[in-house]
Structure 1
Amino acid sequence: MKCIFADQLYTGTDLLSQVFLSFKGTDIIGAAKTKQAACQLIGEFPVVTPAFIDPHSHIGLYRAGEPESEGEGNEQARALFFLPDALDSLQMDDPAFADAIEMGVLYSCIVPGSGNIVGGLSAIIRHFANNSSEALVGRAGVKAAFGHNPMSTRNWKGERPTTRMGAVGMFREKLYQVRDKLDRRQAAKGKEKDKIEFSAEERVLRDLMAGKTILRCHVHKTDDIAALLRLVDAFGLRVTVEHAGDVHQPEIFTELRRRNIPVAFGPLDSFAYKVELRHENWRNIRHLVDSEVFFGLITDHPVIPARNLLLTTRWLIRCGYTRQQAIEVISRKNAEFLGIEKKVGTLRKGRWASFTCWNGDPFDLTAYPVAVFGEGRCLYQPQAANR
């Protein structure tokens, strides 16, 4: 068993002072004021934080040092894709992984891009794997997109929408087709019931309408979120709202809170480079916070590099969050958003030993990690000459 000493330990739920964090193999044993006799002390640090988690990213799909034309965030053959898997385009030799690890960002949920109305399956990954199969931690739904993006790809291949109503209409048509088939199958009897079969794509839609699979929805503007909620009402979909960067009034966040629909907010600090970000501003986060909707923070890498996830929390602090609450958003809350809170996100007993050791206050611009551990293994520890 090994342990480290932290003058301040952010657990993901609390802030503890002058404690020993012990771990064995891949898992946390616990935090205590005294060191167990059998525990090997391997370091003492001013601050220790849980691993940071990015719940919406394209890391490994759009890769550092490669031209944008070689990016694999969107399949351009048609507008509706239910079977592509983001994991199949993941390349672990993306240099952005090392940059993220160095800053304590050890996990991401990679999703297809937002050029298609439906883009495919997400994948929660660890950044320190040898290959894409080893990287997989879990699944977190199917990616969809509403608003400006899917209608802006009218020059791509296949049948494409040119308006918002066209994009929603194409998706609605698929949902109606599967619902009608479900109704016919329920009404059928005996062998006639077995004759009504579902294709692989239809099974994905069936699981979405049954609430077995989450629809992860790229959507920025208030009225585009309203359109999404109409689909939710019509077909019983279980959804998340991803981005919401243009929402500059409180009402829609209040409605999402009422419906228990979580928000993956951001990316903060990006340039408002398209029409659906006309009202994007860091001050919008006040409406998010005041609504008490459940939310996490994202980078949308490469829109903001994954390594900068912690930097975006400064806007939360400006809105009244404590440092502990800010750390909690990008650790515990982001883990809960993805449904992996029993594995990672806090430094509780039984969770993975994934944490970052800092040479000072992480919110000080001069502070930086001096050791990063992923599932019990030291992933990063710079040479003394480079510190």
Structure 2
Amino acid sequence: MKLIKSRKLFDGVDEKENLLIGFEGDEIKYVGSKKPEEERDSEIIQEGDDIVVTPAFIDSHSHIGMVRSGEPGNEEESNEQMNSVYPLVNALHSIYMDDPSFAESVESGVLYSTVLPGSGNIIGGKAVLIRNFVQDIEQAYIMDVGIKAALGYNPRSTMEWKGNRPSTRMGAVAMLRENFIKARKMQALLQKEKKVIDEVEPITEVFMDILSGRFKMMFHVHKEDDIMVLIQLVKEFGIKAIANHCCDVHREEVFVALKASSIPIIYGPMDAFPYKVELKHESWRNAEKLLKSGAKFSVMSDHPVILQRNILYSLRHMLRFGLSKANAISKITKDAAEITGLKNIGQIKPGFKASLVVWNGDPFSLSSHPILVIGEGRTVYDQR
């Protein structure tokens, strides 16, 4: 067993002191104050007076590998322009793992990414969760997260693209409802044995999978009224949804309404420039309303809107409004894993994957940085 001796441990839930973290293979086996007696051959690979350990970070919403560092903008692949409703698109198929941003993220302790299609379409395609620290998409893929959808300005701003496209927000919602109604009717016909599954069109089948709960919907949404539409859709069709962004929300009661509707939030990107009208109320101060609401949320980079390697810095606003350091770190570890559905990652406890970041001081200090990053038991970055 390999051991890391921490002066301080942020385990994804709490802040603790003077603990050993032991892992073997890709799994954490031990967390405790004393060296396990039964592990006589265990080896302490890192210790020191300033050593702080956190779980590896999880970015709940990004376009890393699709919008790639060092490539011209016309080569980015975040939005497929063939149709405004095309859930068969899979973000995994437009990721290049040689994007230099992956290595920068790993150096900063960000080992996992939810990668989504962009928001230029009403239904943009499938979002996937990947490892940042491997060589190709086969090794990177962990799980499907859900189907990307978009409300608000973005899907009505792309009328020059191909396919049937809305010019208004009401048109976008109508097209979305049309597909859900069609899928619901098909479900009824299948139940009555008036249709067989082989007769169902692939796009309708995806909407049926959403209605059945197999897929969550990752909704791009910023403005408060569009969030009310999202809540209405959840009530009408009984779908599982995650609200992504919510940056223009400036009233606490809107976050409360999301909480009451059991819709978690992937919040951000914070520190991005509000470049469009639907962000006219955007402010880092809105985070205070989010915290007061008690809504469940994680934090995103929306890479490259803010660089994924800097996702930790977004949390400083939460600290300003009273969130503890331990709870802040949970927004890019434990809470991020729970919202996206990622199992056995995001906490430092026995049975979880050995994905750890070893820091040379307090992660929230500008002078601190990772000196050792472990990805599922393997050293993926070492600056010791």
Classify the TM-score, shorter chain. over 0.9
Contact 2:231 2:261 in 1 (8 A): no
1:64 aligns with 2:69: yes
Q: CA deviation digits over 1:135-182, x for unaligned, max 9? A: 011111100000000001111112211110111111111111222222
Distance 1:78 1:55 in 2: 25
Q: CA deviation digits over 1:181-212, x for unaligned, max 9? A: 223333x45xx443883122111100111222
Partner residue of 2:26? 26
1:201 aligns to what SS in structure 2? Answer: helix
Contact 1:129 1:135 in 2 (8 A): yes
1:350 aligns to what SS in structure 2? Answer: coil
1:117 aligns with 2:117: no
1:48 aligns to what SS in structure 2? Answer: strand
Partner residue of 1:231? 233
Q: CA deviation digits over 1:105-150, x for unaligned, max 9? A: 0001101000000011111000011100110111111000000000
Partner residue of 1:270? 272
| 1:99 Cα deviation from its structure 2 partner | 0.6
| 1:259 Cα deviation from its structure 2 partner | 1.4
Contact 1:185 1:196 in 2 (8 A): no
Partner residue of 2:142? 137
1:309 aligns to what SS in structure 2? Answer: helix
Distance 2:149 2:197 in 1: 30
Contact 2:150 2:220 in 1 (8 A): yes
Partner residue of 1:362? 363
Contact 1:30 1:347 in 2 (8 A): no
Contact 1:181 1:196 in 2 (8 A): no
CA RMSD of aligned residues (A): 1.3
Identity %: 44
Q: CA deviation digits over 1:202-244, x for unaligned, max 9? A: 1110011122210110000000111122222221111110000
Distance 1:195 1:323 in 2: 50
Question: Which of residues 22, 40, 43 in structure 2 aligns to 1:40?
Answer: 43
Partner residue of 1:380? 381
Matches within 5 A, 1:109-258: 109-186=114-191, 188-189=192-193, 192-194=194-196, 197-258=199-260
Q: CA deviation digits over 1:336-374, x for unaligned, max 9? A: 11111x321001101111111111111111111111110
Moved more, 83-92 or 176-185: 176-185
1:380 aligns to what SS in structure 2? Answer: strand
Q: Which sections of structure 2, spanning at least 5 residues, go unmatched?
A: none
Distance 1:204 1:195 in 2: 12
Distance 1:346 1:137 in 2: 17
Q: CA deviation digits over 1:9-35, x for unaligned, max 9? A: 111112221111110010101211112
| 1:2 Cα deviation from its structure 2 partner | 0.7
Q: Which amino acid in structure 2 is aligned with residue 165 of structure 1? A: M
1:49 aligns to what SS in structure 2? Answer: strand
Contact 2:267 2:299 in 1 (8 A): yes
Q: Which sections of structure 1, spanning at least 5 residues, go unmatched?
A: none
2:334 aligns to what SS in structure 1? Answer: helix
2:114 aligns to what SS in structure 1? Answer: strand
TM-score, with structure 1 as normaliser: 0.95
1:90 aligns with 2:91: no
Q: Which amino acid in structure 2 is aligned with residue 199 of structure 1? A: E
Q: Which amino acid in structure 1 is aligned with residue 108 of structure 2? A: M
Distance 1:71 1:198 in 2: 33
Q: Which amino acid in structure 1 is aligned with residue 321 of structure 2? A: C
Distance 1:89 1:343 in 2: 27
Q: CA deviation digits over 1:58-87, x for unaligned, max 9? A: 000000001111111000111011111100
1:215 aligns to what SS in structure 2? Answer: strand
Moved more, 66-75 or 39-48: 39-48
Aligned length: 379
Q: Which amino acid in structure 2 is aligned with residue 291 of structure 1? A: S
Contact 1:317 1:326 in 2 (8 A): yes
Distance 2:272 2:367 in 1: 23
Distance 1:168 1:109 in 2: 25
Q: Which amino acid in structure 1 is aligned with residue 373 of structure 2? A: V
Partner residue of 2:15? 15
Partner residue of 1:322? 324
| 1:48 Cα deviation from its structure 2 partner | 0.8
Moved more, 204-213 or 142-151: 204-213
